[in-house]
Amino acid sequence: MIVVMQKGASRGEIVAVEERLRDLGFQTHPIYGVERTVIGAIGDKRDSHFEVILNLPGVERIVPILRPYKLVAREVKPETTAVRAGRVTIGGAEVVVIAGPCAVENELQLITAAKAVKEAGAHILRGGAFKPRTSPYSFQGLEEEGLKLLARAREATGLPVVTEVVDTRDVELVARYADILQVGARNMQNFRLLREVGQAKKPVLLKRGLAATVEEWLMAAEYIAAAGNHEIILCERGIRTFETSLRNTLDVSAIPLVKELSHLPVIVDPSHATGNYRLVTPLARAAVAAGADGLMVEVHPDPARALCDGPQSLTPARFAALMEEIGRVAVAVGRVAREADGKVKKQAGG
């Protein structure tokens, strides 16, 4: 790290900072500038408690040089991690599509949705059994009953299932039924939950928090990895900004940025990013064009009667059209896409 001293910091203050840095295990290299002295502190330390340096007299600020994450950094593992769920690989050449209803409502709704998304070419089924809702008066999910229906939908279609876990006490239960455990945006910094899913034996889909920086998102992934689970899929789902004409603002730049910084696969949820079914397909196309490894899309057999997220859910017919469209974009950017009939589509000669 670099310690920037205040203009006019005394010799004694500079020496005291150097001493404290050496106590903390750093080698120090002061540089005496025209207006200010800066001290380079060398050492493989990522422990954040060196921020105490900030309190020493004469210190103006600290500039960290090393990134705070290690296990999830591309620097330490150049090839993209391929996460497997059933026979599906996320992080390979194919653009993987996760689809299904916001919430599991009943058997008919779920099985209808599952069959429809499978038929259109989806790879994985989504559906919430535990729903984090802004209002205590909204539908909170079918809980274990919902998990059982998901397992039944998997049997009926062969699709692996992903579902959200919202409580440390439920991780074991959810992991018994699901192929992938989802940690939602509002729990991205629920560190106990991160640690708990880090000890599970199932891959984790980690959504970005509404106001989480890319660095904080990767630190949340680092929590999971540090607990022993390296099967992590990152999911961008829109961030909160001043713009309120849509539910969130899809941060499409985060896709190539995270792929540069980390070896983890990155997928995009265009449904939550926009909150409006009419914009889901163009955003899905944009995500694939920007390099996303997959998509997560809300599909409901009858959006106008959905118990949650109706306004952003696609009908099966609209979802099938989306699959067509993103298939063409995937091929245009050198990826492989699956067609409705299960055949793969790729660039001629690609």
Span 32-61, contacts to its own copies by CB under 8 A:
32-36, 38, 40, 42-44, 46-49, 51-52, 54-56
By CB under 8 A, tell whether 339 contacts its own copies. Answer: no
Q: Which is nearer to its own copies, 289 or 340 (CB)?
A: 289
Q: Which stretch binds its own copies (CB under 8 A): 2-10, 93-101, 107-115, 121-129?
A: 2-10
Work out whether the CA dihedral 8, 14, 17, 21 comes out positive or negative.
positive
Q: Which is nearer to its own copies, 15 or 333 (CB)?
A: 333
Half-sphere exposure at residue 14, Cβ-oriented, CA atoms within 13 angstroms: 19
Query: What's the rounded Cα separation, in Å, for the pair 270 and 336?
Result: 20
Q: Which stretch binds its own copies (CB under 8 A): 87-95, 115-123, 152-160, 186-194?
A: 186-194
From the list 11, 79, 242, 342, which residue makes contact with its own copies (rule: CB under 8 A)?
242
Query: What's the rounded Cα separation, in Å, for the pair 164 and 222?
Result: 19
State the nearest-atom distance from the C-beta of 334 to its own copies, in Å.
Answer: 9
State the nearest-atom distance from the C-beta of 194 to its own copies, in Å.
Answer: 8
Beta-bridge mates of residue 96: 294
By CB under 8 A, tell whether 190 contacts its own copies. Answer: yes
Task: Output the six-digit token pair for 198.
Answer: 């880090």
- Tell which positions 309-338 bind its own copies, by CB under 8 A: 310-311, 313, 325, 328-329, 331-333
Buried b (16+ CB within 10 A) or exposed e, 233-270: bbbbbbbeeeeeebbbbbbbebbeebbebbbbbbbbbb
Residues 6+ apart with CB under 8 A from 69: 215, 218, 219, 221, 222, 262
State the nearest-atom distance from the C-beta of 336 to its own copies, in Å.
Answer: 14
From the list 151, 210, 321, 336, which residue makes contact with its own copies (rule: CB under 8 A)?
210
From the list 223, 235, 265, 269, which residue makes contact with its own copies (rule: CB under 8 A)?
223
CA-to-CA dists, residue 158 to 39, 99, 155, 323, angstroms = 59, 14, 6, 19
The amino acid present at 286, given as its one-letter code, is: A
State the nearest-atom distance from the C-beta of 52 to its own copies, in Å.
Answer: 4
Q: Which of these, 191, 195, 167, 171, lies nearest to 181 by C-alpha position?
A: 171
From the list 65, 79, 87, 343, which residue makes contact with its own copies (rule: CB under 8 A)?
65
The amino acid present at 27, given as its one-letter code, is: Q
State the nearest-atom distance from the C-beta of 174 to its own copies, in Å.
Answer: 13
- Tell which positions 79-138 bind its own copies, by CB under 8 A: 132-138
Query: What's the rounded Cα separation, in Å, for the pair 78 and 94?
Result: 19
Task: Output the six-digit token pair for 321.
Answer: 């059209």
Query: What's the rounded Cα separation, in Å, for the pair 244 and 277?
Result: 16
By CB under 8 A, tell whether 278 contacts its own copies. Answer: yes
Q: Which stretch binds its own copies (CB under 8 A): 85-93, 118-126, 151-159, 218-226?
A: 218-226
State the nearest-atom distance from the C-beta of 146 to its own copies, in Å.
Answer: 16
Task: Output the six-digit token pair for 57.
Answer: 């007299």
State the nearest-atom distance from the C-beta of 166 to its own copies, in Å.
Answer: 6
Q: Which stretch binds its own copies (CB under 8 A): 118-126, 153-161, 171-179, 207-215?
A: 207-215
